[in-house]
Structure 1
Amino acid sequence: MATSIQSAPVPAHELVYEPKQLPKLRSNYGNYIDSTSVGWMRPTPIDTSVEEMRRRFDEDGYLFVKSVMPREDVLDMRQHYFEHLSPTGILKPGTSPRDGIFDPDEEPIAHNGVGGTDLPEDQERQNKLTTAHTSPIYLAFLEHPKLRSFVREFMGWQKDVLIRRTMLRHNVPNGLSTGIHYDRIFLRAGEADFLTAWVPIGDCSAEGGGLMYLEHSDDVGRAMEKDFTERAKDFTPEERISGFNQNMARDGQLSHNAEELGKTLYKDAKHRWLIADYEAGDVVFHNPYLIHGAAKNEDPLGRIRLSTDLRFYEEGAPLDERWMRSVWRPDDGL
């Protein structure tokens, strides 16, 4: 009788992912991005070695890790958030808060949750956004052991510090999305570099308002920050560290037009906007200088994009103390 020979399974981090058709994407303003200027992010399975993860992070400026947290834990957080916001009328009648489907009869501008000057005018809606940041369920989510232990192991830290001012954000279909920036703009007061974790809270299709990263753009971000710093040398210390000083755009963003910015920064070479279909449990980690922003939410299912932005330092590192004073609030000036 012939003996069958079974090949050894291929390690997850060596699997080749089949390319998918690229969706049409745009940012808050401007044209749809040419398909030749869009590409898929490189996914990293959770069982990849730490050494390989660090190599990818150094090479790409980001690390898109699959299944960092259990899916149901993340969906529980999504359900809690939309139960909290449901009195504002944000959800489509008859749908589950766990799904987070936007009511198409509502005006998107009335339900912006991107923070800063893009808040809804209605005070009740503003209060719901603010109090969501102090919910015991959300605060417990920030301490999720899978996430926090991953950060420590990946960074090689004994202890990590998560800054208090986290940003829990929703983007409704056809509403305003996050502008294009690099994170150091807003955390200039600390000398230490930090690690950003962008956590999608629920599934988020590429066209559903998820983050997109300008390929290999951290060198450009560093050069921009050096230029901004030199031009601000005669500012007061408070003005110099502000993400809204006179060298910056009104809202601190580099642009709200991804198609235009990519062409402006790279006239002679093509750097793509990298995107992904995010699933609940995934996390993207990136360095402080990588240029990124959100696509406009045009999710075909009408799902609201929900996410939180977290910044980690090593315990004892000189961090930006402004971001440790309190949780996010609309008038905190940051």
Structure 2
Amino acid sequence: MTLTKHRHVSTSAVVKGLPTGIAFNNGDRLSHDKVGLMQPTPKDTPFDEMRQKMKETGYVFIKGLIPRDDVLRVRENYFSKLADAGMLRAGSGPREGIFNDSMPPDAAAGIGSVSEDRLDTVTQKCFEAHQDPQYLAFLEHPALRNFINDFMRWKQDVLCTRTLLRHSVPGAKSTGIHYDKIFLRKGESEFLTAWVPIGDIAMDGGGLAYLEDSSNIGQITEDEFNTRAAEFSPEQRISAYNVNMAAGGVITEDAADYTEKVGQGRKWLIADYEAGDVVFHDPYMVHTATVNQSERGIIRLSTDLRFYQKGDDLDERWMSAWFPGDGL
């Protein structure tokens, strides 16, 4: 499937029920006229319609792709291991994943939320979770892998070994505004991202927010980077942590300023994600993780997966499992 640039056409609805708006890392809370709802796609939609939607919007949000209980078992397994670090509220179970708010949020933050040179019990548990047999088996789930090959018209997909299984506790720092190509610049071939919520994530629960119809923005940003990087060394050119990027390789954490100057009327699209849902987006779709504001204390858990077609020129740096401080 060829991923193309597309023009902006705002079609999203105004979100109800979030009186303070969604929260971003720098404290911005965007008003309702800057927030919209993602449009879900039923999993039995014809693939041609799904491909057209991807071309037009940069994403497809598939409801109930993976059996719910299969997802919740992974959640339960993850938090049963993290419980040893004191993260769970007394009396709550690992499938619920309720945060022990006597811990400072930064002390319980998952990968991508704090410096990855932090070596403590939580970080060690996160590293071990990436090697867990139950999690690795889940990545091979036929409902997911068969869908990808059919959707992309691939004979066989290749999943990057470096996956990002991460949690977000209420009040912790979240991932800044970015598009995924920033982090996988070395391979010449394009890839497909699958973002998999592992558990239910309400609109105030720290899920992903996508800048509406923004794949063209990401593509233009990347083209401009390549022009500025003409004199860079090969290592600098592929690095997400070069002089053109903000801390952590992201574009910015100033959501209000970015929305005003770059968004050009686009809204940030959010959703009530449920266990079993999967969002697929192209390499240039601009997105961010919002701050978890769950009043119930529910910890967000999700995994980020990147797929290439077998035989394509992929970014081989991503063919090793994540470890703290791997520089990617």
Q: TM-score range by the shorter chain?
A: over 0.9
Is 2:326 the counterpart of 1:329? no
TM-score by length of 1: 0.91
- The aligned counterpart of 1:5 is none
1:184 aligns with 2:181: yes
- Answering whether residue 303 of structure 2 is matched by residue 308 of structure 1, we say yes
Partner Cα separation in structure 1 for residue 240 and residue 39 of structure 2: 30
**SS of residue in 1 equivalent to 2:248:** coil
- The secondary structure found in structure 2 opposite 1:196 is strand
C-alpha distance in structure 1 between counterparts of 2:185 and 2:176, whole Å:
18
Look up the SS of the partner of 1:232 in the other structure.
Answer: helix
Separation in 2, partners of 1:137, 1:50: 30
Write the distance in 1 (CA, Å) between the matches of 2:122 and 2:222: 35
Change (3 A) 1:78 1:236: same
Partner in structure 2 of residue 275 of structure 1: 270
CA contact (8 A) 1:297 1:305 kept: yes
Deviations 1:165-220 (A, max 9, x none): 00001000000111110000000000001000000000000110000000111111
Instruction: List aligned pairs for 1:9-20, cutoff 5 A.
Output: none
Q: Which residue of the partner structure matches residue 196 of structure 1?
A: 193
Check the 8 A contact 1:30/1:260 in 2, yes or no.
no
Partner of 2:7: none
What's the counterpart of residue 9 of structure 2? none
For residues 329 and 117 of structure 1, the distance between their equivalents in structure 2, rounded to whole angstroms, comes to 14
**1:47 maps to which residue?**
44
Give 1:77's aligned amino acid.
Answer: V
Please name the residue that 2:4 is paired with: none
Give the Cα separation in 2 of the matches to 1:120 and 1:272: 35
Give 3-state SS (helix, strand or coil) of 1:233's partner. helix
SS in 1 for 2:231: coil
Unaligned stretches of 5+ residues in structure 2: 1-11
Mapped to 2, the partners of 1:104 and 1:256 lie a distance apart of 25
Task: Give the equivalent residue in structure 2 for 1:38.
Answer: 35
Residue number among 300, 310, 317 corresponding to 2:312 in the alignment: 317
Q: Which stretch has the larger CA shift, 17-26 or 70-79?
A: 17-26
Q: Distance in 1 between matches of 2:269 and 2:248?
A: 24
Q: 1:297 aligns with which of 292, 299, 315?
A: 292
Equivalent positions of 1:199-218 (< 5 A) are 199-218=196-215
- Cα distance change on mapping 1:101 and 1:329 into 2, 3 Å: same
Partner of residue 126, structure 1: 123
Whole-angstrom distance in 2 between the partners of 1:187 and 1:76: 30
Q: 1:250 matched to which residue of 2?
A: 247
Q: How far off is 1:71 after superposition? A: 0.3
- Root-mean-square deviation over aligned CA pairs: 1.6
The CA distance in 2 between the partners of 1:228 and 1:116, in whole Å, is 25
Cα displacement (A) at 1:39: 0.4
Q: Give 1:119 deviation, angstroms.
A: 4.6
User: What secondary structure, in the 3-state scheme, does the structure 2 residue paired with 1:72 have?
Assistant: helix
Q: What's the CA shift string for 1:229-276, capped at 9, x where partnerless? A: 11111111011100001111121011123222111213xx31000000
Counterparts of 1:20-99 in structure 2, within 5 Å, are: 21-23=16-18, 24-99=21-96
What does 1:103-182 correspond to in 2, within 5 Å?
103-115=100-112, 117-119=114-116, 121=118, 123-182=120-179
Which amino acid in structure 1 is aligned with residue 73 of structure 2? D
Q: Is the 8 A contact 1:222 1:289 kept in 2?
A: yes
Summarize deviations over 1:277-325 as a string: whole Å, max 9, x none: 000000000000010001110012210000000000000010001101x
Letter in 2 for 1:140: A
Percent identical residues = 50
What displacement does 1:98 show?
Answer: 0.1
Distance 1:323 1:223, change over 3 A: same
Change (3 A) 1:58 1:70: same
Q: Does the Cα contact within 8 Å between 2:197 and 2:276 map onto a contact in 1?
A: yes
Deviation (angstroms), 1:115: 2.8
Give 3-state SS (helix, strand or coil) of 2:230's partner: coil
Using the TM superposition, give the Cα deviation of residue 120 of structure 1 relative to its aligned residue in structure 2, in angstroms: 8.5
